Structure 1
Amino acid sequence: MMIEILMNSLIAFFLIGGTLMTALAVVGMIRLPDMYSRLHATTKSTTLGVIMIMTGAFLYFWYIDGLIETNLLLGALFILLTAPVSSHLLSRSAFHADVKPYKLTVLNDLKRDESDPDAENDPDRDIVE
Structure 2
Amino acid sequence: MIDFIKGTLMLSGAIFTLLAAIGIIRLPDLLTRMHATTKAAALGVILIMLAVALHFGEVGVVARAFAIIVFIIMTAPVAAHVIGRAGYFVGSKLWSGTVKDELRPNYDPLTHELKSGLETEANAVHQPRENDTP
Structure-1-length-normalised TM-score: 0.81
Q: Which residue of 1 aligns with 2:107?
A: 114
List aligned pairs for 1:1-129, cutoff 5 A: 5=1, 7-62=2-57, 67-68=58-59, 69=61, 70-114=63-107, 124=121, 125-126=124-125, 128=128, 129=132
One-letter amino acid of the structure 1 residue matched with residue 26 of structure 2: R
Query: Partners of 2:18 and 2:56 in 1: how far apart?
Result: 24
Could you tell me which runs of 5 or more consecutive residues in structure 2 were left unpaired when the two chains were aligned. Answer: 109-113
Q: Aligned to 1:107, what secondary structure does the other structure show?
A: coil
Q: Aligned to 1:109, what secondary structure does the other structure show?
A: coil
Give the alignment's Cα RMSD to 1 decimal: 1.8
The CA deviation at 1:108 is: 0.6
Matched residue count: 115
Query: Partners of 1:55 and 1:113 in 2: how far apart?
Result: 42
Which deviations, in whole Å up to 9, do the C-alpha atoms of 1:83-126 show, x marking residues without a partner?
Answer: 11000000111111111201221111122343697xxxx7x421
One-letter amino acid of the structure 2 residue matched with residue 100 of structure 1: K
Structure-2-length-normalised TM-score: 0.78
Q: Aligned to 2:39, what secondary structure does the other structure show?
A: helix
Could you tell me which runs of 5 or more consecutive residues in structure 1 were left unpaired when the two chains were aligned. Answer: none
One-letter amino acid of the structure 2 residue matched with residue 82 of structure 1: T
